[in-house]
């Protein structure tokens, strides 16, 4: 997958892009821990370097993660020498653990890493397949509207450290719901641009994908702190449950 190549290249700066000590990470950990019964089992798709998975495991939960980037999993192993988080290398749209979990989640827009609607539906099906009875699927994703309305190229800069910044250039292909992002780290060395291609999906589209996988929406929040979700929310945290046999999945 495209995401595997991208996140291999970004592994060395990922901690600077998304610091593990940020309040948002703590809020995500609190949210997942709150909806997972004790002693609970959690599966993260796109586990990466373990920024959410490790603190969940430190709370006593059994945590398993799947990721397609060898370099990111190496970072996870470095940060988790005791192996609190069980990691599986593979494409999370096709790879399963063969086990079931109380909570299956995918954070930080990683649901958009598969670059076709079919792949995203398969991702949803893999999540449903690994969900225990009474369990919850959780997806965090940005609202696509600002990108969908974007005209032409857009360039922004993000602070990484006192010695480095990252320049992000984005190009939106609205007809295919694709965003091409070129990340360039400027830190005094020779810049090595990295391309990231993602396919955004609207919340209603994600809900339909969930229905196709036998899931239905339970709650939708504007963030990890249970903020109300509304038309101006920049992201959503959506919670799904399995449709029980004999139900049609209507709200």
What's 37's domain CATH number? Answer: 3.40.50.150
Q: Based on the fold, state whether residues 166 and 236 are members of the same structural domain.
A: no
Q: Are 78 and 181 contained in the same domain?
A: no
Total tally of structural domains belonging to the chain = 2
69 in the same domain as 36: yes
Domain ranges, residue 160: 146-198
Establish if 72 belongs to a structural domain. Answer: yes
CATH number at residue 189: 2.20.25.570
Alpha-carbon distance of 54 to 132, in angstroms, equals 21
What is the rounded average pLDDT of the residues 85-109?
Answer: 96
pLDDT value at residue 21: 67
What are the angstrom distances between the C-alpha of 107 and each of 99, 137, 151, 188, 239? 20, 11, 27, 32, 12
With respect to residue 249, please indicate whether it lies within any of the assigned structural domains.
no
Distances (CA, A) of 172 to 149, 151, 153: 9, 8, 8
3-state class (DSSP) for residue 41: strand
**Which residues are CB-neighbours of 102 under 8 A, at least 6 positions away?**
36, 37, 40, 41, 42, 132, 134, 135, 136
Q: Is the pLDDT of residue 5 over 70?
A: no
Q: Note whether residue 248 is domain-resident.
A: no
List helix spans (H) across 50-144. Answer: 53-58, 70-79, 117-129
Same domain, 167 and 57: no
What's the pLDDT tens digit per position in 188-233?
A: 999 888 899 999 999 999 999 999 999 999 999 999 999 999 999 9
Residues 83 and 191 both lie in one domain? no
pLDDT at 70: 92
Q: pLDDT tens digits, residue range 125-175?
A: 999 999 999 999 999 999 999 999 999 999 999 999 999 999 999 999 999
Residue 118 maps to a domain: yes
Q: With both helix axes pointing from N to C terminus, report the angle between 117-129 and 203-212 in degrees, rounded to the nearest 10.
A: 50
Which H/E stretch holds residue 137?
strand 131-142
Query: Looking at residue 38, what is its pLDDT?
Result: 87
pLDDT, residue 167, reads 95
Q: Rounded to 5 degrees, what are φ and ψ at 72?
A: -65, -40
Same domain, 102 and 24: yes
Question: Does residue 8 share a domain with residue 108?
Answer: yes
- To which H or E segment does residue 3 belong? helix 2-10
- Residues 182, 166: one domain? yes
What confidence tier does 248 reach under pLDDT thresholds 50, 70, 90?
low
Please check whether residues 192 and 103 belong to one and the same domain: no
Same domain? For 212 and 99 the reply is yes
- 43 and 129: one domain? yes
Residue 250 lies in a domain: no
pTM score over 0.85: yes
Residue 247, in any domain of the structure? no
């Amino acid at each position: 997958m495209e995401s595997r190549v991208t996140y291999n290249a970004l592994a060395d700066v990922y901690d600077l892009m998304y610091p593990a000590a940020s309040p948002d990470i703590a809020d995500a950990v609190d949210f997942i821990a709150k909806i997972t019964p004790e002693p609970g089992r959690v599966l993260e798709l796109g586990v990466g370097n373990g920024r959410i998975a490790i603190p969940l495991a430190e709370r006593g939960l059994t945590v398993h993660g799947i990721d397609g980037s060898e370099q990111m999993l190496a970072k996870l192993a470095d940060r988790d020498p005791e192996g609190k988080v069980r990691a599986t290398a593979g494409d999370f749209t096709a790879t399963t653990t063969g086990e079931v979990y109380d909570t299956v989640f995918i954070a930080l827009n990683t649901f958009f890493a598969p670059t076709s609607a079919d792949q995203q539906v398969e991702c949803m099906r893999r999540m449903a397949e690994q969900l225990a009875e009474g369990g919850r699927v959780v997806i965090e994703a940005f609202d696509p509207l600002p990108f969908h309305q974007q005209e032409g190229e857009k360039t922004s800069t993000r602070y990484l450290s006192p010695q480095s910044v990252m320049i992000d250039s984005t190009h939106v292909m609205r007809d295919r719901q694709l965003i091409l992002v070129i990340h360039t780290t400027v830190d005094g060395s020779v810049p090595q641009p990295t391309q990231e291609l993602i396919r955004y999906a609207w919340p209603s589209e994600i809900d339909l994908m969930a229905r196709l996988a036998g899931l239905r929406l339970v709650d939708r929040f504007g963030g990890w702190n249970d903020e109300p979700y509304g038309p101006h929310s920049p992201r959503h945290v959506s919670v799904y449950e399995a449709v029980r046999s004999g139900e049609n999945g209507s709200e």
